[in-house]
Every structure is written in structure tokens, then in C-alpha cells.
Amino acid sequence: MSHILESWFPALQDNLPAYWLIIYAFLVLRYVIFAGAAYGIFYVWRKRAWFYKKIQQKYPEQKRVLYELKYSFSSLAIFASLAVFIKYATEGGYTKIYSDFSEHSWLYFLFTVVIFVLIHDMYFYWTHRAMHHPLLFKHVHKVHHMSNNPTPWAAFSFHPLEALVEFGIIPIMVFLMPLHPAAIAVFALYMVSLNVIGHLGFEIFPRGFTQHKIFGLHNTSTHHNMHHKLVNCNYSLYFNIWDKLMGTNHAKYHSTFEEVAARKDAVPVSSNEYQVASTSYEMQQATD
């Protein structure tokens, strides 16, 4: 991205504040497009019609949404700062980022996207588990868990220290293996999309998804929603592999998903409250 920006705005080469500002604006725009589209569709446009898909049968208070926005914009500022660091490290020859596609094959390019996602999935699981250490949770990770009924705006709602950890996978990867900026961009789009889905608050996958031999390897919105509500379970990000290996899936994950996915109707109670006929979505506090 740095090459594109500098070709459009040559003056940015030596103007660090302007470069940071443009990177920050780009990250904010991407966040608003992805999270805003999901929020607009599920929480505004189809709020009543699709309420039966709402995992927790209530909407968060407006002040909680504003809280998510505040911390997400803060996190994006940290992401922009790390992106600038990567730019200068690359110019100094310290990273393994390459700009000429001819340096590596297309097969290698696709491989780097896949391996980036898999390594990030592992990285996220273990750093996430670390964030649940009582000390780190109380002073850092609790910021994210204040959204116990998250909306898409919670996708980047982190304490500044956690934001550093979350973005940290990109500096690690660019120092470890040759990566084209396009591969990083593809990874970033996948990451943002799945992050928004995880915090959507609505279940979009069909019944039987979590029990399927192949599809069941991928996480659902219910999976991460249960983590926000119950805290000590369901730590993984993209795939359910690490939770299965480490035994950290909630015991009622599959049954809860099936109950939510099987819902058919939502009955309006008032303009601001809804209930689902015969719903049994009641959870107890999980323990390690």
C-alpha cells in the first residue's frame, strides 16, 4: 500500500504525519464499510424481520455501541502506527516484503495467504488465552468483554495494549517470510470480514453447519457470541481446530447453535423489545 500512496502523493515520502493520517483514514474507511454495512443491515434495515436470528434475544444499549466505536477508533490509530513502522522497516531492508510478482510464483503467493491465515488463527488462540489470565483480563482484555452482547462495531474494540498484540501478527509475518503487499491485503480483508461476522450478534449459518465434517471446522457467529457472554470458553478465531484440540469449546456450543439456527419467527413485544417463540437460549456462566 505504501508504494501506491507514494505514487499518488509523492510528498508523503518525507511527511510522516500525513502518511500516518492517510493510513488511519483508510483503516477507518474499511472498518466503517464492513462493520457499518453489517450493522446497517442487521440492526437497522432488517432489525425486526430478522430478529429471530439474533443470538441473544435483546439489543445492546446505545451507550455500549458508542463504547465499541470509541475503542475501535483508538485501535485503528495503533494499527496505523504499526503500518508506518512496517513501511520504514521495509524501506530499510529489514522486512521480507517484495513488490515484484516475478520474484515468486503465483502458487507461492496463494500459499502465503493460506499460511498467513492459519498462523494467525494459532497466534490468536494462544494470545487470546493469555489475555484471559486474571491480571491481563482485569487490566486489558476486559475492555473488549464489556461488549457482552456485541455488535459488528466491536470488531476492533480493544484496549491499546491488546490492539498492539492483535496487529502484532503482521510485523511478525513480514519479518519471517517473503510476502507481497497484495497477500497482506487479501489476508486483511478475510480477517476483517470474519471479525465482523464473529461480532455480528446474528447467526447466518444453517442448521447442521457445526457438525459438518468440513464446514464444522469453521467458526460461527454463535461461537464467538458465547465467548463474549460466558467468557471462559470458545477462544478461537477463524477455525474451531484449536478449541477442539484444547477442549475449550463450550459444552453447549453445538446445541446452542442448533437452537438459534432453527428459529423461525420473532414476535414483537414493543417497538424496542422482541421475543422468540419457544426459545431456550439461556446460558450459565462457563468455567475453565
Segment 219-238 shows an average pLDDT of 98
pLDDT tens-digit readout, 176-202: 999 999 999 999 999 999 999 999 999
HSE (CB half, 13 Å, CA atoms) of 2? Answer: 23
Segment 206-230 shows an average pLDDT of 97
Least reliable range by pLDDT among 51-60, 67-76, 204-213, 272-281: 272-281
Which contacts of 57-66 are long-range, i.e. CB under 8 A and separated by 24 or more positions? Answer: 57/274, 57/275, 57/276, 57/279, 57/281, 58/149, 58/273, 59/149, 59/272, 60/147, 60/149, 60/150, 60/151, 64/146, 64/147, 64/149, 64/151, 65/151, 65/153
Mean pLDDT taken over the chain: 90
| pLDDT reported for residue 286 | 39
Segment 24-46 shows an average pLDDT of 97
d(CA 162, CA 139): 10
In this structure, what C-alpha cell is assigned to residue 198?
464473529
| pLDDT reported for residue 12 | 56
23: Cβ contacts below 8 Å, ≥ 6 apart: 1, 5, 80, 83, 84
Length of the chain in terms of residues written: 288
CB atoms within 10 A of CB 206: 10
| pLDDT reported for residue 263 | 92
pLDDT tens-digit readout, 216-225: 999 999 999 9
283 pLDDT above the threshold of 50: no
| pLDDT reported for residue 279 | 38
Strands 266-268 and 274-276, sheet pairing: antiparallel
| pLDDT band, residue 16 (cuts 50/70/90) | confident
| pLDDT band, residue 18 (cuts 50/70/90) | confident
pLDDT tens-digit readout, 256-271: 999 999 997 655 444 4
Percentage, residues of the chain above pLDDT 70: 87
CB atoms within 10 A of CB 87: 22
pLDDT tens-digit readout, 96-131: 999 999 999 999 999 999 999 999 999 999 999 999
Q: What is the pTM of this model?
A: 0.88
Segment 83-94 shows an average pLDDT of 94
Segment 141-159 shows an average pLDDT of 98
Helices (H), the chain: 2-8, 16-39, 62-91, 106-131, 134-136, 142-145, 160-167, 169-176, 181-198, 221-230, 241-246, 253-261
| pLDDT reported for residue 108 | 98
Pick from 63, 75, 81, 62: which is nearest to 17 by CA?
81
